[in-house]
Amino acid sequence: MIHFRTLAAALLAVLAWQAPAIAESQAEAPTEGEASTEIVEMALGNPEASVTLIEYASFTCSHCANFHGSQFKKLKAEYIDTGKIHFIYRDVYFDRIGLWAAMLARCESPRFFGVSGLLYEKQGEWLNSRDPVQIADNLRKLGKVAGLADDRIEACLSDADKATALVAWFEENREADGIDSTPSLVINGTKYTNMAYSDLKALIDKELGAE
């Protein structure tokens, strides 16, 4: 389980935004009909469900990748796709790399869960270097695999205003829900650490039975 270093690491990600890891770009930031700094809540399932499950995770967290490769697939099939729960995914930033990955995933909101799935599935491939420049290039390649256009990728990765807004949003959520490790799960307001799917299922069924 990964624990937070400090928020300073995430803030350094924003301050270092013009570092070589992301090529300088004059591309226009994406709009998608909303302001660059507007943060979209990434959610699946039934927003009217009696049970809301919030996952806090980082794209650089191996435990999060394991969760998405096992527990999340079962959760999606049994509870999200059936409309039994409302699922919300919230980013956690340990470092600038995790922030870059999140900005790629959030490049086009409708593609978020597809891109995030690729980021977790291929984590061992795009995160296989200590060189930020190489990792940034790996992220670009993954973005292309996900169907994002080159100019769109560059615009998203160079959107410093969005990066700053995301870090502030992350810190607000972290403080509100007391998040200190990933993955963390918040079920109807109660925080839990990572767990086996059988335990997660029991907690959800208990909440559903309380209707």
Tokens of 197: 């799917």
68 belongs to a structural domain: yes
Tokens of 32: 């998608």
Output the CA–CA distances (angstroms, integers) from residue 18 to 15, 28, 105, 208, in the order listed: 8, 16, 20, 47
Number of domains observed in the structure of the chain? 1
* 144-153: pLDDT as tens digits: 999 999 999 9
164 belongs to a structural domain: yes
SS3 category, 11: helix
Q: Alpha-carbon distance 65 to 122, whole Å?
A: 9
pLDDT score for 97: 92
90 belongs to a structural domain: yes
pLDDT score for 41: 96
Residue at 28: amino acid letter: E
Q: Alpha-carbon distance 22 to 85, whole Å?
A: 38
pLDDT score for 210: 61
pLDDT score for 38: 81
Q: What is the pTM of this model?
A: 0.86
pLDDT score for 95: 86
CA 95 to chain centre: 13
CATH number of the domain that residue 48 is part of: 3.40.30.10
pLDDT score for 150: 94
Q: Alpha-carbon distance 68 to 74, whole Å?
A: 9
Residue 11 domain boundaries: 2-15+40-209
pLDDT score for 13: 47
pLDDT score for 84: 97
106 belongs to a structural domain: yes
Give the DSSP letter of residue 180.
-
30 belongs to a structural domain: no
CA 42 to chain centre: 9
pLDDT score for 189: 96
Indicate the angle between helix axes 160-177 and 96-105, nearest 10 degrees: 100
92 belongs to a structural domain: yes
Give the DSSP letter of residue 77.
I
pLDDT score for 17: 44
32 belongs to a structural domain: no
130 belongs to a structural domain: yes
pLDDT score for 28: 44
Residues of the chain with pLDDT under 70: 1-36, 210-211
Q: Alpha-carbon distance 204 to 93, whole Å?
A: 27
